[in-house]
Chain A
């Protein structure tokens, strides 16, 4: 699913980055402007729209009742799905999820799951039988690079905004009561993606930068500054010392974003 990029452009971007400059005037370690809007979809239990430069993602959260997994009878269920809608880019096609959307969904999922962001034990109605299932649907509306960070941010923002129905169990039957309570959230993971172009590491890559990058690495950082998920992508490689450099940049960037968002 590659879009063609001319060699002239390729060379131009690489040379600029080599001289510590970017196409849009940012420094190598700067994020684009970030905008977050929560609760825009009233029908959903939770929602958020995140803009990172021109990249735009909406996440909707729906909560339904369902069965727990047999190996985790005392935990609710989290399901993350991502749609690369054909609206968002000429390279996206309608149809069943391809490997890119599955990878995106699984990166977002791992960030939330491994940081234990949702207190899943509080989602149990009847152990082993009935639990709440949290569906997180990532909708990409405009693709201008760094879908991973944007989607991960939007997913957590939507979860923070999610309401759960009140219920009571009467004679084995679950009854929904009026009113809502907040979805129990423990952690607010932040995912930061680093792209390697030439021998430089940059944050928040633009679409054109992603098209020419050697490889990328995404790390999810929890509230304590611990790493809870990593994914390398792209058909290139990192040297071991670049991985450690990347982990330091990510730690720093996650801290800055956390401060800015007051998370």
Chain B
């Protein structure tokens, strides 16, 4: 795993996994995967496999954190020890603490927080397998889990990254591209409100490249958003059919 590829884009303009510059990895979404949770979702984004579950609104714990005019959203992004090449200690790393905060802040604008004063909404994210872009996939799944829980939302939130490899701006970096490439720009979007709720970047970009990357990531977000809606619908079509069958029995 230590040998770094010399070229991330070949002569035909294809990337290591055969994708074009503006092509997403395959995304699979499923809603309502954990029966105990109030809402849940599972995402496979390339080799990323991530579960998100929502519990709440429920009693605030510890109590002094309660807010009188709105709910408290808590978010825990966590990577399983076996999710990466070298075993990761299960204790939360500084990266996980930061990402938990970033993910929470990217979801909060979508939630009608003032509807549930003196309560808490827990968002739990478990990364079972990581392959670059876990924060984006986590946001996409967590927003679905929130919607599945029935909490009123202004919009869904969907996230996707763009970046720069071999001097080219490309969409949706996978692990190797993220590590060897020269920039990574994760973006989260509320598609109907056209509002960006997460933006991070590390690497080196000119302002023009930054603009290209953001626009490319936003396009990627909109593509995933269509799949997000489809996944939500699928669950309730299935539920509807189950009810029909029960009624017939």
Contact = CB atoms under 8 A, between A and B. Distances in A.
Given A217-B199, A234-B105, A251 B207 contact: yes
B207 A227 contact: yes
A110 B98 contact: no
B205 interface: yes
B114 to A, nearest CB: 12
Contacts of B218: 240
B210 A247 contact: yes
Contacts of A222: 204
B68 to A, nearest CB: 10
Contact of A229 (B201, B206, B211, B215): B201
B201 A230 contact: yes
Given A99-B97, A230-B185, A243-B214, A237 B201 contact: no
Nearest to B2: A71
A236 interface: yes
B100 interface: yes
Interface string A235-247: 1111110011001
B226 interface: no
Interface string B181-223: 0000100001001111111111111110011001100100000
Interface residues of A, number: 36
A251 B100 CA distance: 29
Given A228-B202, A230-B185, A236 B109 contact: yes
Interface in B110-161: none
Contacts of B2: 71
A230 B193 CA distance: 22
Contacts of A97: 94
B207 to A, nearest CB: 5
A228 B182 CA distance: 10
B202 A237 contact: no
A204 B175 CA distance: 35
A106 B200 contact: no
B201 A227 contact: yes
B101 interface: yes
Contact of A233 (B105, B193, B214): B105
A74 to B, nearest CB: 13
Contacts of A201: none
A200 interface: no
Interface string A36-70: 00000000000000000000000000000000000
A21 interface: no
B108 interface: yes
Contact of A235 (B108, B193, B196): B108
B215 to A, nearest CB: 8
B210 A237 contact: no
Given A237-B193, A237-B196, A238-B199, 15 more contacts: A99-B100, A105-B94, A225-B207, A226-B205, A227-B205, A227-B210, A228-B202, A232-B197, A236-B109, A237-B109, A239-B194, A239-B196, A240-B215, A247-B210, A248-B207
9 closest A-B pairs (Cβ-Cβ)? A230-B201, A237-B195, A235-B108, A232-B199, A99-B101, A114-B202, A237-B197, A237-B109, A238-B196
